[in-house]
Every structure is written in C-alpha cells, then in structure tokens.
C-alpha cells in the first residue's frame, strides 16, 4: 500500500511543471528569435500581490492553446527561493513555461527588455518577432487586456 502511494507521489511530482533557472541570454533569445507566435513575456514574483492577481488571466489564455501565442512567465524571486516558486506553480496549477531569471544586477538588463520599463513588477512584454512590433505594459493588466495587446502587436506591421 505504502509502495503504491510512493509510486503515485513520484508520478505526480514528475508531471508537475517546475521553474527552470535561467540567465539573461535565455530571455534575450526568446525576445529576439524570429517566431511565428506572438511572444507574451510576463515578469512577476510570488511575493508581488498585483502580479499574483493577474496570473489567472495568463493561465486562462494558456488553456485556450492558441497556436499563435506563446506565454513565458519570467519569475524574479531570488534563485534560492526556487522551492517556493515551484510550490506556487503547483498550488495555482500553472501550465505556462516558468523561468526563474537569476540575474541580480538588474540595471544591466532592464533596458534590454524595454527602455520604458522602470523596473517595478508586474510588467508584460508583447512581441511580434516577425514584424518587430512590440508593446511593454508597466503595471497590472485588466481582464481582457492580454487579448487586446496581442491583437495590437499582431495586426500592426
């Protein structure tokens, strides 16, 4: 009985999605690589209340499985809090890709994401990598805005 339980636990933990710790070059690749999909990149942390508030909008969109949209959640908790991030992902059943950006020298990369970004989270970058059209939203998104901004970078070229 215990053995079955153990195996079951092993299976579920293997299925649960976990955050991967990355450096900035990985994020830069997502921003710059030409792709058919609109890249939606959200910057958040587990302790940030407005970030946590808007995350369900991203999950809802993820569940629509739109082949033209790719969501990446860039987590900014400290790397030694990875366990906390993974527990959050599990609890909130997040299925989008979560990458923990382990780059403490913030000033070295914030402008590379978008020069208009002051550094406060949440922030969300929408990019049409084929046309170069982009939009950075500094602050919390309202319901429906995700779709509107995707449409905006999709159409204008």
Q: Give the closest residue to 151 by CA, choosing from 81, 72, 56, 66.
A: 66
Residue 47 C-beta: closest distance to other proteins, Å = 5
Binding part of the chain for other proteins, among 21-29, 33-41, 82-90, 114-122 by CB under 8 A, reads 114-122
Site for other proteins in 122-141 (CB under 8 A): 122, 137-141
Residues whose CB falls within 8 Å of the CB of residue 129, separated by 6 or more in sequence, listed in order? 31, 32, 33, 34, 35, 39
Candidate residues 23, 53, 60, 151; the one interacting with other proteins per rule CB under 8 A: 53
Q: Give the closest residue to 86 by CA, choosing from 23, 15, 4, 146.
A: 15
Is 28 a binding residue for other proteins by CB under 8 A? The answer is no
Candidate residues 142, 151, 155, 156; the one interacting with other proteins per rule CB under 8 A: 142
Q: Give the closest residue to 153 by CA, choosing from 122, 98, 114.
A: 114
Q: How many residues at the interface with other proteins, by CB under 8 A? A: 29
Residue 48 C-beta: closest distance to other proteins, Å = 7
In the complex with other proteins, the residue whose CB is nearer, 12 or 116, is 116
Compute CA distances 120 → 42, 64, 91, 147, whole Å: 12, 29, 25, 22
Instruction: Please give the Cα distance from 154 to 126 (Å, whole number).
Output: 9
- Judged by the rule CB under 8 A, the positions of this chain that interact with other proteins are 43, 45, 47-48, 50, 53-54, 76, 78, 104-108, 110-111, 117-122, 137-143
């Amino acid at each position: 009985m215990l053995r079955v339980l153990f195996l079951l636990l092993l299976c579920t933990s293997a299925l649960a999605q976990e955050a991967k710790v990355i450096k900035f070059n990985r994020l830069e690749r997502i921003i710059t690589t030409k792709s058919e999909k609109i890249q939606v990149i959200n910057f958040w942390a587990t302790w940030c209340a407005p970030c946590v508030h808007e995350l369900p909008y991203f999950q809802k969109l993820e569940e629509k499985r739109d082949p033209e949209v790719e969501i990446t959640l860039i987590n900014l908790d400290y790397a030694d809090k990875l366990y906390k991030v993974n527990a959050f992902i599990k609890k909130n059943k997040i299925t989008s890709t979560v990458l923990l950006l382990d780059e403490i020298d913030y000033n070295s990369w914030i402008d590379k994401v978008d020069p208009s970004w002051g550094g406060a989270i949440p922030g969300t970058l929408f990019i049409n990598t084929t046309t170069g059209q982009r939009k950075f939203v500094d602050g919390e998104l309202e319901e429906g805005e995700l779709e509107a901004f995707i449409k905006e970078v999709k159409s204008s070229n």
